[in-house]
Amino acid sequence: MLNQILFAAALLITLGVFAFTANRYYKLFKLTRPAFPVRDFGKRFLLMLNVALGQTKMFRKPFTGAMHALVFWGFCVILIGSIEMVIDGLWGVERSLKVLGVLHDIIMASGDIFALIVAIAIVVFLGRRLFIHVKRFEGIEMKHISHLDAKVALSIILLLMLTLLGMNTSYVAHNTLLGEEVFGVYPVSQFFAQYFSGFSADTLHIHHEIHWWAHILLIFFFANLLPYSKHFHVFMSVPNVFLSRLEPLGKLPNMDSVTREVKLMMDPNTAFAAAPADAPIERFGVKDAEDASWKNYLDSLACTECGRCTSVCPANITGKKLSPRKIVMDLRARMKEKSKGLLKEGKTFDDGRSLIRDFISEEELWACTTCNACAQECPININHPTLIIDMRRYLVMEEGSAPGELKATFNNIENNGAPWQYSPQDRLVWAEGLEMNKI
């Protein structure tokens, strides 16, 4: 009974803290701008199965992709076991999902095998971070805290897997020793259990309790640590894929506020008509975190800083300052920095700083070729170029700021309908004297 009360209390605290965090994020999301209406649920569901559950984009890097896929699939299976542990903890029972019969055997067996696989993969990941120089883990945006963040999360996952295996092993050893039925199948722990045959039933029981509590409390702790680290990825990446932009990468979102203005300019009849009352006067483009869309912000929370985007960026490869990963991380960091004031005072809050310039320089923004390699590469469909263009929109339309040659290009387009300074009268020069061989 005491155990149940303790467990319920721990669960309550976990859910309470989590609700607080979720509410905070919800309010921040409400401050962001609209992106697109979420429709086509069937299409989205298939995309989620393909990209998130199928991990298809991860396999663009076959080795690490496979390792990550195994970890991900392992998490999915082990999650069911964690739900069983919560039921067990609340009702004071053991292996409650045994009512599922063979299905329970399958769940337990795959969870047990995956625990070992995930543990091995995590050791490989830690090894890559500690001993191998992986270029995409470096960069100006990769501060000490980012590396620490990664290592802490990996260590916690490793501990989770070890405690899970410890729990299963002592459970199997204990029940086997006493001749009691073992519910579920545990291929890996069965193997380990033979080495614990010399222990007494009491010792094995205590072992089991320690591992059980350590495992579940670590999950509770981890769940509440995640939203404050880059590993928020664990919660946000699947929703982020589900809520992907469905349009071709080449498409940019239209700015309807600009369309209204341009139509007004082009049609003299509407020149004196009042602007629609429901049209809010808002800044063109993105200057600060709250100007970004909810999708940009979700992207930034789902990013786990893997750096695949930056590793394929033509600007970054050739030594320019732009790093698509940094753009995403900066949005998250700026929103975090501004969140206290934003939540207190709303959108009018101003701390004299902004995403552009205090976090992202103009030099970075102008280096983008909009080639979409970053968006193509991102395993969870983060779209960096739309955010970069939105920041360019702010610079150009609000500040009139752009590299001199681009300003000249704008002038040319405006005055002679081409990015270069040629007369429209010369548009057919290419066709003069055109001949072809008769065949």
Determine the Cα–Cα distance for residues 418 and 424; give it in Å rounded to an integer: 8
Within residues 52-71, the interface with another protein by CB under 8 A covers: 60
Q: How many CB atoms lie within 10 A of CB 215?
A: 24
Measured in Å, how far apart are the chain's first and last C-alpha atoms?
96
**Residue linked to tokens 């429209």:** 424
The residue (of 301 and 368) whose beta carbon lies closer to another protein is: 368
Site string for another protein, 283-302 (x = CB under 8 A): -xx-----------------
Q: How far is the CB of 426 from another protein (least distance, A)?
A: 7
Within residues 304-333, the interface with another protein by CB under 8 A covers: 312, 314-315, 317-322
Q: Does 413 bind another protein (CB under 8 A)?
A: yes
Q: How far is the CB of 365 from another protein (least distance, A)?
A: 8
Within residues 357-386, the interface with another protein by CB under 8 A covers: 363, 366-373, 375-376, 385
Q: Residue 341 is inside which H or E element, if any?
A: helix 324-345
**Residue linked to tokens 């542990």:** 85
Q: Does 223 bind another protein (CB under 8 A)?
A: no
Site string for another protein, 172-191 (x = CB under 8 A): --------------------
Residue 275 is given by DSSP the state P
Total chain residues near another protein (CB under 8 A): 76
Site string for another protein, 232-251 (x = CB under 8 A): ---------------xxxxx
Q: How far is the CB of 58 from another protein (least distance, A)?
A: 14
**Residue linked to tokens 């070729």:** 369
> Letter for the amino acid at 299?
D
Q: Cβ distance 388 to 365 under 8 Å?
A: yes
Q: Does 414 bind another protein (CB under 8 A)?
A: yes
Determine the Cα–Cα distance for residues 60 and 363; give it in Å rounded to an integer: 30
Q: How far is the CB of 376 from another protein (least distance, A)?
A: 5
Q: Does 342 bind another protein (CB under 8 A)?
A: no
Q: Does 429 bind another protein (CB under 8 A)?
A: yes
The residue (of 95 and 393) whose beta carbon lies closer to another protein is: 393
Q: How far is the CB of 206 from another protein (least distance, A)?
A: 54
Q: What does each C-alpha distance from 238 to 43, 247, 293, 325 come to in angstroms?
A: 15, 18, 18, 19
Determine the Cα–Cα distance for residues 103 and 93; give it in Å rounded to an integer: 19
Q: Does 393 bind another protein (CB under 8 A)?
A: yes
Please give the structure tokens belonging to residue 107: 């769940």
Please give the structure tokens belonging to residue 357: 């310039």
